[in-house]
Amino acid sequence: MQTFDAVVIGAGAAGLFCAGIAGQRGLRVLLVDHAEKLAEKIRISGGGRCNFTNREAGPANFLSANPHFCRSALARYTAHDFIALVQRHRIAFHEKHKGQLFCDGSSDEIVAMLVRECEQGGVTRWQPCAVEAIRRAGKTFELDTDRGPVRSAQVVIATGGLSIPKIGASDFGYRIARQFGHRIVETRPALVPLTFDAAAWTPFTPLAGLSLPARVETGEGRTRGQFLEDLLFTHRGLSGPAILQISTYWRPGEPIRLDLAPELDLRAALRAAKTLSRRQLGNELAEILPRRLAETWLADQPDLADRPLPEVRDRDLERLSSELERWELTPSGTEGYRKAEVTAGGVDTRALSSQSMESQHQGGLYFIGEVVDVTGWLGGYNFQWAWASAAACAGALQAARG
């Protein structure tokens, strides 16, 4: 039986990074992945340009049942550490928006960089290769794989979440976690468009394709999320960065609240218009907001839309402003794992070491990346968690342990 110091299962962002560091520290590392193609999620990320980190990444940008868990790893391996690595590999990049860093060229450069790091560490990679079972055998683990049995004192689970099953996502990591006595914080699609009942959404279908800045919020207290980003109307509901962000905080049955005019004082603008203009309210609103939104919003109130502004009662202006600034609506669901960028929930961090990602139930077993219950905002944060948790784990792995 072949023996390694560490077997890393999942050659995605976290697995490749962890294997490379551990290999360069002198460990004999086997990296195994069941997918035909290497690191597809990195390749398709960021629209093909991989938003590989966020300059501002910190614990406040992550959601978890145990919010402090991610602190240590994020502090010990920061966005600046990853930027330095990218620069060492001479990959050109730029900042797009709110600290988000993208490759100038393509995501393939990040994959190639991670592969070079693994090669420098002499990492053995078996791909495609499925792991059928993992057992504890004395002080080591035995793994049954497509390419025969393997023995290792340390096993790192880096198999990611459930999103985009067609490119290799599986529930393997959660199954192994349960096998070794771990709890799973309920998983759900996140960074995903929200959908609405067809009948309730019909009045808004003419808005499909419209994008505008909006403030969106949901939840209360510790579970409250709030973002100011672009909102996109779709045929089935809402999408765009504002909605992807809030989807991670949204819980079924709960409403979301939208301010469709976050960058102006709508009340004041309408009142001022009333004193200055004799235009119809509908036409004035279409100057202040996108025309399609104004028309659709007033479509079922033609009397109000056609009324000259000086004849519109203040309280109608007040009501209209409130409706647009505090539009409350309850999604019926999400577009699911098929469209979700990440999976929220996962291996409960309360039984993992925040220093090393090692299981407190089973020494030598580690969980890193998205399989863990740490979910980042949209904007490079999820990759930063993959890098940081991988670095924490790789630093703790030991050569010829046990």
Residue ranges in contact with ligand FDA by CB under 6 A: 9-15, 32-35, 39, 41, 44-46, 50-51, 130-131, 158-160, 163-164, 168, 170, 172, 341-342, 369-371, 380-383, 386
Angle made by CA atoms 196, 335, 171, in degrees to the nearest 5: 140
Nearer to ligand FDA, 164 or 289 (CB): 164
Which runs of consecutive H residues, i.e. helices, occur in 203-307? Answer: 241-247, 266-276, 281-288, 291-297, 302-306
Which tokens is 387 given?
Answer: 């890098």
Nearest to ligand FDA of 362, 384 (CB atom): 384
Q: What is the DSSP letter of 165?
A: G
Beta carbon of residue 95, minimum distance to ligand FDA (angstroms, whole number): 13
Smallest separation (angstroms) from ligand FDA to the CB of 116: 17
- Residue 315: both structure tokens together: 């309280």
Write down the least CB distance from residue 383 to ligand FDA, Å. Answer: 3
Residues 376, 382 contacting (CB under 8 angstroms):
yes
Residue with nearest beta carbon to ligand FDA: 12
Helix H or strand E encompassing 228: strand 225-233
Closest to ligand FDA by CB, 285 vs 340, is: 340
Under 8 Å between Cβ of 45 and 12? no
- Looking up tokens 């996108």 gives 290
Of 91 and 270, CB closest to ligand FDA: 91
Provide the minimum distance between the beta carbon of 140 and ligand FDA in the complex, in angstroms, as a whole number. 20
Report how far residue 369's alpha carbon sits from residue 383's, in angstroms, rounded to the nearest whole number. 8
**In the complex with ligand FDA, which residue's Cβ is closer, 345 or 380?**
380
Nearest distance from C-beta of residue 371 to ligand FDA, angstroms: 6
CA-to-CA distance for 329 and 243, rounded, in angstroms?
A: 13
**Minimum distance, C-beta of residue 320 to ligand FDA, in the bound complex (Å):** 38
Least CB distance from residue 40 to ligand FDA, whole Å?
A: 7
By beta-carbon proximity to ligand FDA, the closer residue of 35 and 304 is 35
In sequence order, what are the beta bridge partners of 2? 150
**Nearer to ligand FDA by C-beta: 273 or 372?**
372
Token pair listed for 22: 């551990």
Report whether the peptide linkage leading into residue 255 is cis, meaning its omega lies within 30 degrees of zero: no
Minimum distance, C-beta of residue 133 to ligand FDA, in the bound complex (Å): 11
Torsion angle, alpha carbons of 67, 71, 74, 76, to 10? -160
Nearer to ligand FDA, 108 or 295 (CB): 108
Rounded Cα gap, residues 60 and 217, in angstroms: 16
